[in-house]
Amino acid sequence: MFREGLLVVVSGPSGTGKGTLLSNIKEREKNIRFSVSATTRSPRSGEIDGVNYFFKTHEEFDSMIKNNELVEWVKYCDNFYGTPKKCIEDTIKSGFDCLLEIEVEGALNIKKIYPDCVSIFILPPSFEELRRRIEARGTEKAEVIDKRMDKAIKEMNYVDRYDYVVVNDRIEEAVSSISSILTSEKLKFERNINILESIGIENRSFA
Q: What is the pLDDT of residues 86-96, one digit of tens each?
A: 889 999 999 99
Q: What is the dihedral of CA 180, 181, 184, 186, to 10 degrees?
A: -110
Q: How far apart are CA 163 and CA 140, in angstroms?
A: 32
Number of residues in the chain: 207
State the DSSP string of 102-166. --HHHHHHHHHH-TT-EEEEEE-S-HHHHHHHHHHH--S-HHHHHHHHHHHHHHHTTGGGSSEEE
Stretch 123-143: mean pLDDT: 83
How large a percentage of the chain has pLDDT more than 90?
Answer: 52
SS (H, E, C) 8-57: EEEECCCCCCHHHHHHHHHHHCCCEEECCEEECCCCCCCCCECCCEEECC
For 146-203, what is each residue's pLDDT tens digit?
Answer: 888 888 889 999 999 999 999 999 999 999 999 999 999 999 988 888 777 778 776 5
CA-CA-CA-CA dihedral for 88, 77, 148, 105, to nearest 10: -40
Furthest C-alpha separation in the chain: 62
The band of 72, judged by pLDDT with boundaries at 50, 70 and 90, is confident
Q: Looking at residues 97-108, what average pLDDT do you find?
A: 89
Amino acid at 140: E
CA distance 7 to 88: 8
pLDDT tens string 3-31: 889 999 999 988 888 888 999 999 999 89
| pTM across the whole model | 0.80
What domains sit in the chain, N to C, each tagged with a CATH number? Answer: 7-34+97-206 (3.40.50.300)
Q: Please tell me the distance from the alpha carbon of residue 162 to that of residue 60, in angstroms, as a whole number.
A: 31
Nearest to 179 by CA among 35, 21, 37, 3: 21
* Residue 205 pLDDT: 53
